[in-house]
Amino acid sequence: MEVINYISTISIPIIILIITVNGILEKQNIFDTFIEGAKEGIKIVIGIFPTLIGLFVAIGALRQSGVLDLVINFLSPVTNILSIPKEIMPLAILRPISGSASTAIAVDIMQTYGVDSIIGQIASTLMGSTETTIYTIAIYTSIVKIKKTRFVLLAGLVGDLVGTVASVGIWRILS
């Protein structure tokens, strides 16, 4: 464990050193290249900022309005058939939308049920086997100005559903 901590501590400085040495060997102006990259990064941030604000407002409204509880109750006949615990449904629903909201829910699940509980294990596996699909699609498509995302969204959400069902199924078999 000490070796891993040492490697993680020195990895970023080593990467910076490698990039710097490579730039010097190729006779490039490293500082100007860095500044140009920073300018491009700022342009990207400005381009995706409205999308981020919209997503954050929508997530806040969804969590505070009680709509999430209505959706969970509406889906309960299907989730009962699939043996998906009600406790992980907020995580399964918000995971495709927001990484920070789903992380907060996962932490709450771990604190409430414990990391070694079946609910905690399902939540951990779900976090690793699903993606923030809507967020990712919104960011990537807003950068390249793609308007029609219907099939991409459908494929991503089907992948998230498969990840959720697989997470539950795997831990039902293993426990």
The pTM score is 0.66
The pLDDT score that the predictor gives to residue 118 is 94
Contacts with 108 (C-beta within 8 Å, 6 or more apart), sequence order: none
Q: For the beta carbon of residue 141, count every other beta carbon within 10 angstroms.
A: 16
Whether residue 171 contacts residue 88, with contact meaning beta carbons closer than 8 Å, is answered with no
The SS3 call for residue 44 is: helix
Backbone region of residue 66 per phi and psi (left: phi > 0; alpha: psi in -120 to 50; beta: other values): left
CA distance 124 to 161: 15
Asked whether residue 14 carries a pLDDT value surpassing 90, the answer given is: yes
pLDDT at 17: 92
Give tens-digit pLDDT for 93-138.
989 988 878 888 888 899 999 999 999 999 999 999 999 888 888 8
DSSP single-letter state for residue 117: S
Q: Given a cut of 80, is residue 172 above it in pLDDT? A: yes
- In this prediction, residue 62 carries a pLDDT of 76
Per-residue confidence (pLDDT) for residue 1, from 0 to 100: 65
pLDDT tens for 144-170 read 877 777 788 888 899 999 999 999 999
Read off φ and ψ for residue 57, nearest 5 degrees.
-65, -45
Chain center to CA of 93: 12
pLDDT 10s digits, 40-72: 989 888 887 887 787 778 777 877 888 888 888
CA distance 114 to 109: 7
Per the model's pLDDT, the better-predicted residue between 68 and 88 turns out to be 88
Q: Note the Cα 152 to chain centre separation in Å.
A: 17
Strands (E), the chain: none
Please report the pLDDT score of residue 148 as a whole number. Answer: 77
Q: What percent of the chain has pLDDT over 70?
A: 99
Answer with the residue of higher pLDDT: 47 or 14: 14
d(CA 64, CA 122): 25
